[in-house]
Chain A
């Protein structure tokens, strides 16, 4: 380990803008564009937004501050951060849990990026405005062709590897600095086009008219909690990893916490403006999820003036949103592998991207398998990762210690002691509550077997990870509190 530390020259972000765009790009993904608009409309519109925004500020913002701070303080990826902040070999296994969950997440997210790439490519070929274009047949033809879907999955992973191999500053930062601003401009353009369509304002009325009775329903608050926690990527290791590349004089709370959480949700809100007016103007089904993008909206473009151009703007920006998330999720593994093994950056990129490609083949081959992976990882894996990282700050490092030593260092905003109980109690309780609610809600439904499988898999993952880290640590280094800290 000491060997690899000496060998690894730690990069830093080239600019503040690059770091902020990378954080935003990693957190803004497919869910912001196809999930947030419908979740808002389905749960009381404005009433849901009030609940959601409240929880975003109370939970997601402080949580992201904690995660980014751990990265900046330790100057290490997930496994290294756990090694430096806890002396318990078993607790260090939780770092491995976060890493495995990330690779599992990326294994089924990569095929989705492949779908987005396929549609972005066809938008450039003006396929969607060709005479006789049939969106349902086009989608069915694509998704039922394993060679094509696996091919797109392969191109996606090759593209991600091609960026990541150049590192943080010359790879990720160089790409996100133009992809994210373009995504925002594209969504703004589609939003303006949408609200000016006849009937477009009906979509906004559906989303923004508050139905106050929803605030008294538990399901509204659960949906708001889930959206606030999962759409911001809190505790997935991305903020920790990206934070580990911050420079000495960089701020954490303003950029890593407030801007990332609120900026991410702002793009979700922009997606509401971009999709719902179009959905209502053309009488589409708003609850269609991924089908809303790939089938329903694809049907709209031939009917729009300049439809070919709007298709390019929409699908290319959707591809940017998913690709930049893919960069963030994959970098978690790349950073940890390059720090914990003797592999070079290039070797780590090839190893991690190769593993994700391989594990992603079943999801690329079968949409049904992808859905099952999404249920297990989304319902149990990601909450487990979030709990692991928050527990590291809350119960090992200690929130007060973290706040006074590092969080407020070079900070753009001062964080008071209110932050401590939020990180120590509120976030863990909320996460456990959401998982418990999901488990209870699955009993007696078609998801019961998957739920049991998911809980069993996560329990096994924790046990195996702790055992593996115990064995590996027995052969390697010991924690040294005096050498902690990231300067």
Chain B
């Protein structure tokens, strides 16, 4: 029995959104590790948040200064800012202007 067009479409779409996406995720994940290791070997540290993620973290710390986790969050934020100032090549897509405008958060 030959497959109907609809069955072919369903099968190909399933292959695309399951093994297709899984393969892309695997390759991307392995490449990011390779890239981070390269940067770590060259400069000793890597920025740990993307611009959007760091902005979220900053907003959260400023909105919840007395949260039990605020100290930890502030440390992570400030550590990322200091790293970005120290390293030559960020891992995430940071522009020099964005890095220039970053500030650490004091209590």
Contacts and interface: CB of A to CB of B under 8 A. Distances in A.
Given A262-B22, A412-B28, A481-B68, A208 B57 contact: no
Q: DSSP class of B's interface residues: helix, strand, loop or mixed?
A: helix
Interface of A: 15-17, 20, 45-46, 49-50, 53, 199, 201-202, 204-205, 208-210, 249-251, 254-255, 258-259, 262-263, 265-266, 269-270, 400-401, 403-405, 408-412, 414, 481-482, 484-485
Interface in B1-58: 1-4, 6-8, 10-11, 14-15, 17-19, 21-22, 25-26, 28-30, 32-33, 36, 40, 46, 48-50, 52-53, 56-57
B22 A266 contact: yes
Contact of A202 (B1, B18, B68): B1
B76 interface: yes
B63 to A, nearest CB: 10
A15 B26 CA distance: 13
Secondary structure class of chain A's binding surface, majority of residues: helix
Given A201-B1, A404-B73, 13 more contacts: A16-B32, A45-B10, A46-B11, A208-B8, A210-B7, A251-B29, A262-B25, A269-B14, A400-B60, A401-B67, A401-B73, A409-B53, A410-B49
Given A16-B29, A258-B21, A401-B60, A484 B72 contact: yes
Nearest to A16: B33
Contacts of A204: 3, 7, 11
B52 A414 contact: yes
Contacts of A45: 7, 10
Interface residues of B, number: 43
Contact of B2 (A201, A265, A404): A201
A251 B32 contact: yes
Contacts of A199: 1
A49 B22 contact: no
Nearest to B33: A16
A449 B3 CA distance: 45
Contacts of B57: 404-405, 408
Contacts of A254: 25, 28-29, 32
A403 B26 CA distance: 22
Contact of B10 (A49, A401, A408, A412): A49
A482 B72 contact: yes
Contacts of B7: 45-46, 204-205, 208-210
B29 A255 contact: yes
14 contacts: A16-B32, A17-B30, A201-B2, A205-B1, A208-B3, A210-B10, A258-B25, A259-B29, A262-B18, A401-B64, A404-B57, A405-B60, A405-B73, A485-B76
B104 interface: no
Nearest to B46: A249
Nearest to B21: A262
Contacts of A202: 1
Please indicate which of the listed interface residues B2, B25, B30, B49 has the most CB atoms of chain A within 10 Å of its own CB: B25
B6 A210 contact: yes
Contacts of A414: 50, 52-53
B48 A409 contact: yes
B1 A266 contact: no
A484 B73 CA distance: 11
Contacts of A258: 21, 25
Interface string B68-89: 1101110010000000000000
A255 B32 CA distance: 11
A115 to B, nearest CB: 28
Contacts of B60: 400-401, 404-405
A208 B11 contact: yes
A83 B28 CA distance: 34
A10 to B, nearest CB: 18
A15 B1 CA distance: 46
B46 A408 contact: no
Contacts of B67: 401
Contacts of A49: 10, 14
B11 A259 contact: no
A254 B24 CA distance: 10
Nearest to B50: A414
B50 A411 contact: yes
B32 to A, nearest CB: 5
A258 B59 CA distance: 26
Contact of A412 (B29, B52, B73): B29
A270 B69 contact: no
A178 to B, nearest CB: 16
A259 B26 contact: yes
A54 B19 CA distance: 15
Given A208-B14, A414-B50, A263 B6 contact: no
B36 A249 contact: yes
B29 A205 contact: no
